[in-house]
Chains A and B, each alone.
Chain A
């Protein structure tokens, strides 16, 4: 018998024996086939991927250059708008000088990790882990925001942990206004965890779904102009006020960190009217 025939016989024998072995481990038969065909498929995929990438590189380069040019133009526009805003600010400062008007001090933000969100109890709260070295500060009643919008306010502190009452809690209330019309009302939590309610907006007020609601800065706690949410529905609630539903700007389903405003709230004595009026 020639060597070639013996070689074929050898290959057939080994293949039959391997098949026999594989039959004794049927759960591995698929893996065995994959093990054999995997490298081939990977090679084909690698070559295909390289060709694809080369083709995409050619077509995407022109698109990237176009996009880059657009972004440069946009940057120039933003830079000129910023320069105009700075100029306007300087002019406003100069105009205000004769009246001795002092703008409110800017608050700085402290980043804190959200370590717990209470989904179990009837209160809707979250717990923040405050940065090191801040234990001595009084954090209560300070506003808390995310990068998307208002989250709530600090209600209690223990060590480096602070409990935040979320906007969606029924006990929470924020002075708010419709950004388009500057009309003010109160935003409160509802029974539905995902929505807020804007209250005390009379029926004659123009308000529409899609209007943005921001904080009004009239409650002594929250600063003005922080996004609260977007109006989703407007219905008439009897004879006096609209029944307005808002979806919060801050995504309460993906909380990871928040910013606490280092801003002194108004003294409660002044807010309660117990500072000498009527005495």
Chain B
């Protein structure tokens, strides 16, 4: 429950950032996919239901934020979330490099699904080209690296703080 509420909070923050980026820096919003980043990082814990639910929620949010065809990003994020969770069940995702590889693959799969669906349904013309897709995957992976580094540092800082408080509490008791 706590992790779900935390995911919703992060998702809201990501949606807000995407909306702001879309308004002020549309190029940046197009080159870094924060939703996929969130979905993959949420899924690499290996729980497929969590991956599926997270992907669906993030996809719906991306559909709302990007004002694209409703359901397009939901399909893509759903597949990426579930796929990343299933992959995490088979490979060791505790290593940062593996997580980043899954993230890069997730961005590529996400883009391919979006381009493929738009082409099949002929809803809109969208063909960013292989270079743009690869750039998006690389930048999102780089963003993922930064997020992993920051969360790792934060986790370490919080652990040290907890340990220090525990020690101070112990001294006070004595």
| Contacts from A to B (Cβ < 8 Å) | 1, 3, 6-7, 9-10, 13-14, 17-18, 20-22, 24-25, 28, 31-32, 35
Contact = CB atoms under 8 A, between A and B. Distances in A.
Contacts of A24: 69-71, 121, 123
Interface string B112-132: 000001001111000000000
Interface residues of B, number: 18
8 contacts: A6-B52, A7-B48, A14-B75, A17-B75, A18-B71, A20-B71, A21-B123, A31-B120
A6 to B, nearest CB: 5
Contacts of A25: 121-123
Across the A-B interface, give the 8 residue pairs with the lowest CB-CB distance, nearest first.
Answer: A20-B71, A25-B121, A17-B75, A6-B48, A21-B71, A17-B71, A10-B82, A6-B49
A11 to B, nearest CB: 10
Given A17-B71, A17-B75, 14 more contacts: A3-B48, A6-B49, A6-B82, A14-B78, A17-B74, A18-B75, A21-B70, A21-B71, A22-B121, A25-B122, A28-B122, A28-B123, A32-B120, A32-B121
Contacts of B108: none
Contact of A13 (B56, B120, B121, B122): B56
> Chain A interface mostly helix, strand, loop or mixed?
helix
Nearest to B56: A13
Interface in B59-75: 69-72, 74-75
Contacts of B123: 21, 24-25, 28
B52 A10 contact: yes
B84 interface: no
Given A6-B49, A21-B69, A35 B120 contact: yes
A145 B10 CA distance: 87
A33 to B, nearest CB: 11
A197 to B, nearest CB: 61
A10 B49 CA distance: 9
A21 to B, nearest CB: 5
